[in-house]
Amino acid sequence: MTLRAKPVSGAAGRPGWNSGDRRTFLLNLGFAIAIVGSILILVGYTVYSWYDGHFGAVATVDGTTITNDQLRTRYAIENFRIDYTLSRIRTLQAAGRISEANATSQIQFLEQRRNSLPALTVERLIDVALQAKLAAAEGLSVSEAEIDAQLIDEATTEEERHVWVIEIAPLNDADTGEPGPGEKAVARGKAEKALADLRAGTSWEDVAKTASTSASAVQNGDFGWLQLKSGYDESLMAAVFAAAPDEPTGAIEGADGVLRIGRVTEIASATVDGTLTDRILDQEIKVADYREAVRGDLVRRALSDKIVADLSAPSEQRQVLQIFLPAETPTPDGVKVRHILFSPKDDPGAATQLPETDPAWSAAKLDAQAAFETLIKDPSTFDGMARTMSDEGSARSSGGKLPYYAPTSPIDPAFAAAIFKKGLRPGDLIPPFKSQFGWHVVQFMRPYGLGEKAWIETVRRQALDGTDFAQLARDQGEGPEAPTGGDIGWVAVGQLGDLREAPIFSAKVGDMTAVVEIPDEGVYLFKVVAEETRPATREQIAIFESSGFNNWYSVRKAAAKIERSGPSSDT
């Protein structure tokens, strides 16, 4: 009898799996797992995309996150504000209170702003976050009542008046180039005469055309429709808005020395748009979100007012001398000179038409030779002589200093031959020579060399070696302060900006600073003469009001930890 092995039975009597069954099962299982995994990945990506689209960071400010949702909301608000302003402009234009040219200019500006709105909105949100922290540190806050008041302001079209102005500007003194007491008195007399004529019944049109020195005289001084805060002289606008229709104001002297008489012919009272909230809601903007945007604006205003007030208080100020050289286009083979021009009959424009035999040419030559001999004895008088004696029109302000000239520059051949003569060194005086414009006395200042910073380093070494700083400022400086020995007066914190103030207020009294280079502006060298506690001047306060907060804030913004991810593409 033959014994055979029995086949192995599966558990509970089921037949066993063969390898094909197992493979099929595993493949199906793997496929199912892959499908489930893909679905989970897709769901996860969808959730992540939704979260990132709403709560993802477009920027962080010292750890505070600005989200895409915040960006979209603020973008919608800023876009609404542009549309709201555009509608106001078109309404005023239709009413004849804004000229077509003025309206077009404002509309173009707003549309350009709209084109940059995504990036501008991100930056505004960064400012809101940072300024909120700075305001809190200063103890500042904004109340709901202040927000309510601001919303009313935004809905208000301010009173406007149709303004006419007669302007009488004093003439300049022939020697100083500025109005003197005599010239101001003459202008005051003309203004009082014009005012008396108006009050005696002479028509506004006749007085404007005969008395006004402004270009607006041909339009009878028509300034158009203006609001109180229109950017014109504050004292004039205050008088105009206090005047009755068709009654001339007094003769008011502005901050610029110009005398003005104003008149109002029409008045448009202030109006409040009661539909502002409805318009906001029509754009699917939540009123609460709009109020938060207004809060940020008011925080900035409160912070600015606080900083300007602080800067305007009496403070430690420093009296400073400065040597400034403006940024120049690189001219590697160029040279810089200064000159005194003696033209025949003191007229360089007519010199080319004057015969060489005219005695005026000989007189100009004698004047040039006399000046040269004086300068040989005392070169320090060059600046003063150039400003008072030169027949070049700009010499009064430039001290005869000219821009860099290269051998290829289109200048008079005789002048070029003189200044490009080999062997000239800084400070050398060139004997008088004749050009088509007259006789010149020239001092060679320097070759371009390594540029303005390298040269002012040389000037600094001269000052350290004992050369008078004020004299160096007159001879080398090219700012408006050069004629007064570089004296820029008393400097307060917040007046010049941190790049210039930091070295000024870190130097010891009596010392010079290091050379300060500001890209695209130029190079500076400062000397601190004195220090004392002083009240802010009117001019300083005006600077604080126009740029003090921006200067203060830019330093703090630069110090903050700010990371930008860029605006979302679907704003």
Backbone φ and ψ for 440, nearest 5 degrees, come out as: -115, 140
Q: What is the pLDDT of residue 3?
A: 47
Distance of CA 564 to the CA centre of its chain: 25
- Element (DSSP H or E) covering residue 186: helix 181-199
Q: What is the bridge-based pairing of β-strands 429-435 and 438-447?
A: antiparallel
Rounded to the nearest 10 degrees, how much is the dihedral formed by the CA atoms of 392, 398, 402, 403? -130
DSSP 3-state percent helix, strand, coil across the chain (nearest 5): 50, 20, 30
- What is the 3 state secondary structure string of 234-290? HHHHHHHCCCCCCCCCCCEECCCCCEEEEEEEEEECCEECCCHHHHHHHCCCCHHHH
- What is the 3 state secondary structure string of 490-540? EECCCCCCHHHHHHHHHCCCCCECCCEEECCCEEEEEEEEEEEEECCCHHH
Question: Which residues is 455 bridged to in the sheet?
Answer: none
Residue 239, pLDDT above cutoff 90: yes
- How do residues 464-520 score in pLDDT, each as one tens digit? 999 999 999 999 999 999 999 999 999 999 999 899 999 999 999 999 999 999 998
- How do residues 342-370 score in pLDDT, each as one tens digit? 999 999 988 989 998 999 999 999 999 99
CB 147 within 8 A of CB 298: yes
Please give the Cα distance from 178 to 240 (Å, whole number): 28
CB burial of residue 498 (10 Å; 0-12, 13-18, 19+): middle
CB 340 within 8 A of CB 389: yes
CB 467 within 8 A of CB 480: no
Please give the Cα distance from 207 to 219 (Å, whole number): 12
- Cβ count within 10 A of residue 494: 24
The chain-wide mean pLDDT, for the chain, equals 90
- What is the 3 state secondary structure string of 327-374? CCCCCCCCEEEEEEEECHHHCHHHHCCCCCCCHHHHHHHHHHHHHHHH
Of 511, 449, 446, which Cα lies nearest the Cα of 475?
446
Q: What is the pLDDT of residue 18?
A: 62
Q: What is the pLDDT of residue 43?
A: 56
Q: What is the pLDDT of residue 451?
A: 82
Please give the Cα distance from 91 to 99 (Å, whole number): 12
Q: What is the pLDDT of residue 269?
A: 94
Q: What is the pLDDT of residue 19?
A: 66
Q: What is the pLDDT of residue 51?
A: 42
- Tracing tokens 């202040």 back to the chain, one arrives at 146
CB 317 within 8 A of CB 534: yes
Residue 280, pLDDT above cutoff 80: yes
Residue 37 vs residue 525, higher pLDDT? 525
Rounded to the nearest 10 degrees, how much is the dihedral formed by the CA atoms of 266, 270, 272, 276? 80
Q: What is the pLDDT of residue 13?
A: 47
Q: Which amino acid is at 443?
A: Q
- Element (DSSP H or E) covering residue 29: helix 19-55
> What's the DSSP call for residue 230?
S
Rounded average pLDDT over 198-227: 93
**Cα maximum dimension of the chain:** 158
Residue 449 vs residue 558, higher pLDDT? 558
Q: What is the pLDDT of residue 330?
A: 81
Rounded average pLDDT over 186-198: 95
